[in-house]
Chains A and B, each alone.
Chain A
Amino acid sequence: MEGDGRVRDIELAEDLGFQERMWRAQRISWAVMAALALAALLGLFGGGPLAGASAGGGEVSVPEYERFVRFGSPTTLRVRLEPPAGGGEVRLWVEQGYLEGVRLQRITPEPAGAEAARGGVLYTFRASGGPAVVTFDLEPDRAGLLEGSLRSGGGSVTLRQFVYP
């Protein structure tokens, strides 16, 4: 086949044109690999500065969650709630769509009650003075975009997370 034009007595399916293309493709792929590794270090695939996020404010906020998470690997959601003056009970409503996309491992503190309500679950926590911080330990159970809103009192916050397969 095509070589460099020299006549040879060796039967060889050399193909310099292809060889050059292959080398170029290899060099491009090295660059892609390096870029992916760098992006992973920065947290594009979860667990880095790019992945950390916070949302909301006022009566319900999520000071800490991950924008990029992975299927089946644990992640944490910290929710800050403003209890009504005088303490007592604070309620947090979580949209059904969000709960369907995750496997809840633990809620800290344990909710005093949970009931199905208006397309979601309404959790009740006992709180005594100051803002209450509730931690959800969960594992994404479905790949793709994971969306859902949380509500408490008059406030509401919508979370958007991407779950890598």
Chain B
Amino acid sequence: MDAVIRAAAIYIFLLVIFRTTGRRSLAQMTPFDLVLLLIISEATQQGLLGDDFSVTNSFLVVLTLVSLNLLLTALTHRFDAVDRWINDVPLVLIEDGEVLHERLRKARVDPEDVLEAARESQGLERLDQIKYAVLERSGGISIIPRRQDV
């Protein structure tokens, strides 16, 4: 019984934490974010297993985590509202070369980040070469360039 409750509690806690710290936090992972992730897993491990080091306990914990994940996926498919809260919605950051500064600020994205994505994915040099920049649900920024027929 313990194992299931522990796993569920930590699952929900981490879900809330990672959702509310924003999608920017993990998508563009810096080396430090990776270290942070490792520390977080280290910190939760003890609470997850308690002082029961049996194979049964680890089975139950894994079982609970995977089941919860399945359940959540099913719910996000079934209900749009759940999907939005769990997976977020995409957001247009640049529209027809026009930078929507207010949105960038609120989404905590710098124009620099957009430019970086533009360089990496499309080899673009300036913001005005971008038709659309979209902050995706995954936290990445996707770039659609303007047609080069001018």
- A residues near B, CB below 8 A? 3, 6, 8, 10, 12-15, 18-19, 22-23, 25-26, 29-30, 33, 72
- Closest residue on chain B to residue A72 by CB atoms: B51
- In the complex, besides A12-B90, A12-B134, 13 extra interface pairs with C-beta distance below 8 angstroms are A10-B134, A10-B144, A14-B89, A14-B90, A14-B92, A18-B84, A22-B84, A22-B85, A22-B89, A26-B21, A29-B16, A33-B20, A72-B50
Which residues on the A side are within 8 Å of B107 (C-beta)? 23
Cβ contact within 8 Å between A6 and B95? yes
- B residues near A, CB below 8 A? 16, 20-22, 50-51, 84-85, 88-92, 95, 106-107, 132, 134, 144
5 A-B interface contacts by CB (under 8 A): A8-B95, A14-B89, A14-B90, A29-B16, A30-B20
Cβ contact within 8 Å between B89 and A19? yes
Which residues on the A side are within 8 Å of B50 (C-beta)? 72
Cβ contact within 8 Å between A26 and B90? no
Cβ contact within 8 Å between B20 and A26? yes
Q: Among B88, B90, B92, B132, which residue has its beta carbon within 8 angstroms of that of A22?
A: B88
